[in-house]
Structure 1
Amino acid sequence: MTVNRICLIEDDEIMGEAVSDRFGLEGFDCTWFKTGEAARQSLQQDQYSVVISDIKLPDIDGEQLFEELRAAGTELPPYIFMTGYGAIDRAVRLLKLGAQDYLTKPVDIRALIDMVHNIFAKAGRGSEHASGEPGLGLSSAMRHIESVLPKLAFDNITVLITGESGVGKEVVARALHRLRDPDWRLPFVTVNCAAITDTLLEAEMFGYVKGAYTGAVRDKKGYFEQANGGTLFLDEIGEMPLSMQVKLLRVIQERKVMRVGSEALIPIEINLVCATNKVLKKMVEAGEFREDLYYRINVLELQIPPLRERKEDILWLASQMLDAEAKQHGSHRRELSPEAEQSLLDNPWKGNIRELKSCLERACILSSQAVLTPDILFGHGAQAKPEAATSLTDYLGSYERHYIEQTLKGKEGRIADSAAALGISRKTLWEKMKKLGISEEK
């Protein structure tokens, strides 16, 4: 494959010129096509490192072009789609069919450049293209984090992961470690700084020697030594007392630890990842967190949004959790009713992913039904929340629209199959879609 060669399929003159010019500045060889058919001929004859395609094209739908090329046996490089907000469901479906990624319009050029750099970096390391669903989520926020991680994998810099409790900070830390150590041969040590009492924190962190204090009957390695060669994940670092922060700063700077009761310095080589649900900058201003330590651990910050701000991830995560639950208990996989799916999307999830997991686990334990409903998920009397309605007609219409949309989504937009599943004719389905304002893209 020709290195750093890009196929851009975009009919908008302004967008196409802006993207192709930016790729030129980045040193990439970009060939710009304004129609799908022109791109088809080139993709069947030439070799590219990546394809970036709009879904809306003047002559052929971008999704149709992608599927026809795959059906024809054309060897395709990583494929990135650009889509309007209303077509996100289509882009997610394409990810499952083998597309690499997607961006919503207006496109963030910097994010697009990051995606392309990430693809080229993987190709340069000889890694296989891992098509299909992403590891951290479907939302643009989580896919951006996923695109950044490979750049950090081989740089020994301290990473700070921030976000509310339960958003998945340790999951991101483990994903970073996995890139550094795909076979998990090196240690990954997790420390909850809030779970260790102040009096034991130093001994647990740095270790101790026999006789250092009452009860120290043998030498013991601390967390830093246990993580030597691998990754040390310090969760809830904002809870660490000031007296310990200065000692932690010294270890990070010198890359050496001294066990309690010893005078010998032990060199360590670790990748340090810290996490907190607090705003450390405000804690620094309030004198609750050392400023020098803050700048030492905040070399690069990855901020994870709460689940309520990345709704694309909710049903994706729920599906994974239901798969895991069935596998763990050796039972049939539970399904979510359309109303249950909507209720999950409507819930604020103040506890984020942790709360979602608890909700689904509880429902699977308490229910003997194959299909989970809102009352099973949230208790008796719970129900899916329809869009704001001013009349009974509007209220019923909102449910009807949601049910049709979910059926279309399950049948990947195929009208005939969706109509059969709904028990109505194709003509009736078309009429209902028009009346309820449902786009074919659903």
Structure 2
Amino acid sequence: MSKRICLVEDDAIMGESLQDRLRMEGYAVSWFTETVAAEAALTSDRFAVVISDIRLPDADGGEWFRRLQSSYGGALPPFIFITGFGTIDAAVGLVKDGAADYLTKPFNLDALVARVAGLSENGGAEQGGDAAPDPVLGVSPAMRDVEGQLRRVGAARAGCLITGESGTGKEFAARYLHQWTPHHGELVAVNCGALTESLLEAELFGHERGAFTGAQRRHQGLFEQAQGGTLLLDEIGEMSATMQVKLLRVIQERRIRRVGGERSIPVDVQLVFATHRDLRAMVSAGAFREDLYYRINVVHVRLPPLRERPEDILWFARAFLREIAGDAPPRTLSPAAERVLMGAPWPGNLRELHHALERAVIMSDAAVLEPRDLFPEIDEPAADNGTLSDYLKACEKQRILATLQDRDGQIQASADALGISRKSLWERMRRYGIRARDLVSGRARGS
């Protein structure tokens, strides 16, 4: 494995910090502040990885990379680009054109070291536009790592536990995993928290005719419907203790018995589980079986919330606008609207982002969406007062107030509409001094 790194960074503090850390990890680092000197070194020395800023004093890092590609092609070592918010789109384009990866400032040095290690150990095998499919779940490094994990799990047909906050896209992740499974069946999904215990049992395992009142014919359950494919058990943390026991038996034996049936039926399905809850904490509290937890936690894939991967916000926003537009020309976002989207906390994650854009498209006739289209609860002059953080907090408070007023102060209904949990809504109400008793007949007093 080559241990030589070419670092191209004109910021003295950043360059010294990266050089020191990489040398601590055992790499020999050649540090350059301009592309001319770095290119000369690339022609004479062999490097495992090139780490380069996009904004450099003598050239644009992206244009330099593309020129090197045309000159050296496959002989070029893997490139990792360092980018700020203003050049995220450029970095994404570079990855599509063959760069290995990019990191957004400020970034975690451990993540950079891990990426360098992976590329150097693979001899740059991940370099090149054909190395990985186009992003589906996001363009951020975190979500591209998630996609890589899901591809490996799918290929192995291993069990998988997908966790993440509400609205992070757990079902979409399960569908992505299913696409990479050597299956001959379909993906079938069920929300374990949406059905009573008896209905969930009949839905999962099926039932024979006459098994209970209303069972007028034999019904194949979801395990049978998913034969040869994938079964997603969403919100597994909501499953009752009795159903947990029955599920554990099926996982162990790979056989099911219909309700009212006398024979067991073998099943061949890839099981994927999803939840927004902390199952380990539930095990400690006695609310979830420990043996079942270890059975379903073969591979754990965590979907980070949107606030931890800001690179995905605008990428998803544009994708959602194209989806909402259908056959019509999609709306676009003004620079001010993009800044507001990037700075918003998005407690409801992708679901909340989609709802905000859909509402804006419905309520506005403008081809270019502005901040007031995305957050209509805020008076426009308020955008000019205080910091962006103050503005976004005011947006969030007004959105919560408006939602509560529309639902006569009903907490659970409002939490569902906002795409957050009841607990999260209570915490935000307490933070902003919103009292449930003040919300009467759709009007808030003392807001």
Report what 2:169 is aligned to. Answer: 168
TM-score (norm 1): 0.72
Closer, same or farther in 2 for the Cα pair 1:261/1:78, shift >3 Å? farther
Report the alpha carbon displacement of residue 333 of structure 1 after superposing the two structures with TM: 1.1
Report the alpha carbon displacement of residue 369 of structure 1 after superposing the two structures with TM: 1.3
Report what 1:106 is aligned to. Answer: 109
Contact 1:255-1:269 within 8 A present in 2 as well: yes
Report what 1:152 is aligned to. Answer: 153
Q: Which amino acid aligns with 1:177?
A: H
Closer, same or farther in 2 for the Cα pair 1:116/1:231, shift >3 Å? farther
**What CA distance in whole angstroms lies between the structure 2 residues aligned with 1:118 and 1:360?**
41
Closer, same or farther in 2 for the Cα pair 1:75/1:41, shift >3 Å? farther
**What CA distance in whole angstroms lies between the structure 2 residues aligned with 1:78 and 1:261?**
63
Contact 1:85-1:105 within 8 A present in 2 as well: no
* 1:188 and 2:187 aligned: yes
Cα deviations across residues 16-70 of structure 1 (Å, max 9, x unaligned)? 556675xxxxxxxxx986565687579789999x854333789876434312124
Cα deviations across residues 212-257 of structure 1 (Å, max 9, x unaligned)? 2233233222111111211111111111111111000111111111
* 1:129 and 2:131 aligned: yes
Contact 1:194-1:236 within 8 A present in 2 as well: yes
Report the alpha carbon displacement of residue 116 of structure 1 after superposing the two structures with TM: 6.9
Tell me how large the CA RMSD over aligned residues is.
Answer: 3.8
Q: Which amino acid aligns with 2:344?
A: N
Contact 1:363-1:376 within 8 A present in 2 as well: yes
Report what 1:351 is aligned to. Answer: 348
Greater shift, 192-201 or 6-15, is seen at 6-15
**What CA distance in whole angstroms lies between the structure 2 residues aligned with 1:355 and 1:119?**
41
Report the alpha carbon displacement of residue 275 of structure 1 after superposing the two structures with TM: 0.8
SS in 2 for 1:149: helix
* 1:283 and 2:285 aligned: no
Report the alpha carbon displacement of residue 157 of structure 1 after superposing the two structures with TM: 2.6
* 1:95 and 2:98 aligned: no
Q: Which amino acid aligns with 1:152?
A: V
Q: Please give the residue correspondences for 1:31-430 in structure 2 after superposition, counting only pairs within 5 Å.
A: 40=39, 52-55=50-53, 62-72=61-71, 74-75=73-74, 79-83=78-82, 89=88, 91-103=91-103, 104=107, 106-108=109-111, 109-114=113-118, 128-130=130-132, 134-181=135-182, 186-326=185-325, 328=326, 330-379=327-376, 381-383=378-380, 388=386
Cα deviations across residues 114-159 of structure 1 (Å, max 9, x unaligned)? 5677898889xxx94347x622223332222123223322223321
Closer, same or farther in 2 for the Cα pair 1:155/1:42, shift >3 Å? farther
Cα deviations across residues 164-210 of structure 1 (Å, max 9, x unaligned)? 111111121112111225xx853111111111222211111011222
**What CA distance in whole angstroms lies between the structure 1 residues aligned with 2:379 and 2:125?**
48
Cα deviations across residues 307-340 of structure 1 (Å, max 9, x unaligned)? 22322211111011011122x2x21110111222
Contact 2:189-2:233 within 8 A present in 1 as well: yes
Q: Which amino acid aligns with 1:270?
A: V
**What CA distance in whole angstroms lies between the structure 1 residues aligned with 2:313 and 2:161?**
24
Report what 1:401 is aligned to. Answer: none
TM-score (norm 2): 0.71
Contact 1:78-1:99 within 8 A present in 2 as well: no
SS in 2 for 1:136: coil
Closer, same or farther in 2 for the Cα pair 1:361/1:250, shift >3 Å? same
Closer, same or farther in 2 for the Cα pair 1:69/1:226, shift >3 Å? same
Greater shift, 356-365 or 36-45, is seen at 36-45
Report the alpha carbon displacement of residue 382 of structure 1 after superposing the two structures with TM: 4.6
Report the alpha carbon displacement of residue 386 of structure 1 after superposing the two structures with TM: 6.6
Report what 1:415 is aligned to. Answer: none
